[in-house]
Amino acid sequence: MLKINFEDRFFQCERLVKNLVLKLSITYSRIRAHRERKQVVKKIGRSVINRQIKKSIKEYARQRFGRTNYWPYLALYTEIRGQFIKGWIPYDYFRYVFMPKINPQNYRDLSNIKTFDYRLFGEFAIRPLLVFISGIFYNTDLEIIEEGQVKKLLSDYDNTIVVKEEFGMKGKQINIIHSSEFIPGKLKKNINYIIQPYIKQYKVLNDLYPEGVNTFRVTTFLNTDGSVNIKCVILRFGVDGLKIDNLSSGGQYIYFDSSGKPSNLAYDYIGLKAGAKHKNTGYLFSDVRIPMFHKILDLCEEAHKKYPYLRLIGWDVCIDDSGEPKLIEWNAFCPSILPEDINFGPFWTDDSEINLKLGVH
């Protein structure tokens, strides 16, 4: 009996700690929203929010999300867009309430196991040269390879490779080297790795920005009837010599509508306009034409159907020099489409579609 009481107390304390961490995370997130809003107003040189607009934002937050506390991000979006639009989901609600409900943690962790992607998604995924799991090298058939064989395999390959850690985020934990430079003993034994060919990208994308691989982020949504639809498509690219295209690292993006037409302007990580042509190459964004655009969408929809445990997935897709779309990785933890939602949404206007429940934070 004493053991049962002790276990009950332990789980109660665990729940209390989780709730405290959640409240602190949401509080910090709202502080960041206020800070970013000030930065946006300073950069644009004006504020569009007055007392009446702020009142409308808070009332909308109360009616749709249960608390007026969700107003800071909605105010930030309003400053960026230049007007308040009903339908937006504030980041703090999206990240801490909405996503855990539609993408349960037990199922989203698989998206971080990058050594498994080619086995789950087949030819759509980039097939690795080899993988490093539990301190052991394997070929793609999961046959053990000795270190001496690894060196010979990569020496014979004689090309650029990508060495990627599992559970890496925002383009970090990625090393791009020549295969002859790979040293097996330098990999951490307690981390799994995937060793892939470096993709030579499609000419249009290389002309746009040749210093890194530019990727499409395709966000798919699983409906309650089992069908999958495209929520948003953007093309991300680096600037100023950046080797990765992640927005949080300084990359920019252009938006694509359902027909494959790109936006005339690029945008930064927060959603502010970044010009009509690439600052380094001078490539006009309105001139970007992707003949295999709809093939990319079809492949992402089919990939989502192979893993229907999650309702919202972000797919990072490149196009190789032969014109074939290839999956680099997928994001199920928090595939935010909020920067795009600000300027091209709202994408979440139908509460019945997402079975939205009112928040309590």
199-254, pLDDT tens digit by residue? 999 999 999 999 989 999 999 999 989 999 999 999 999 999 888 777 777 899 99
C-alpha 66, offset from chain centre: 27
Q: What pLDDT is attached to residue 360? A: 41
Region 57-72 average pLDDT: 95
Q: What pLDDT is attached to residue 354? A: 60
Q: What pLDDT is attached to residue 333? A: 85
Give the pTM: 0.89
Q: What pLDDT is attached to residue 21? A: 77
Q: What pLDDT is attached to residue 338? A: 79
Chain mean pLDDT for the chain? 90
CA torsion 259→265→267→272, rounded to 10°? -130
Residues in the chain: 361
109: tokens are 């962790």
Where does the pLDDT of residue 172 fall: very low under 50, low under 70, confident under 90, or very high at 90 and above?
low
283: tokens are 């490539």
Residue 120 has pLDDT above 50, yes or no: yes
Residue 361 has pLDDT above 50, yes or no: no
Determine the Cα–Cα distance for residues 246 and 173; give it in Å rounded to an integer.
13
Residue 288 has pLDDT above 50, yes or no: yes
Residue 128 preceded by cis peptide, ω within 30: no
The H or E element that residue 256 is part of is strand 252-256
Where does the pLDDT of residue 353 fall: very low under 50, low under 70, confident under 90, or very high at 90 and above?
low
Looking at per-residue confidence, does 289 or 348 come out higher? 289
Min mean pLDDT across 13-27, 47-61, 65-79 is at: 13-27
C-alpha radius of gyration, the chain, whole number: 22
By the 8 A CB rule, do 245 and 214 touch?
Answer: yes
Angstrom distances, CA of residue 352 to CA of 63, 223, 225, 349, 356: 15, 10, 12, 9, 7
Q: What pLDDT is attached to residue 168? A: 67
315: tokens are 């797919």
Residue 47 has pLDDT above 60, yes or no: yes
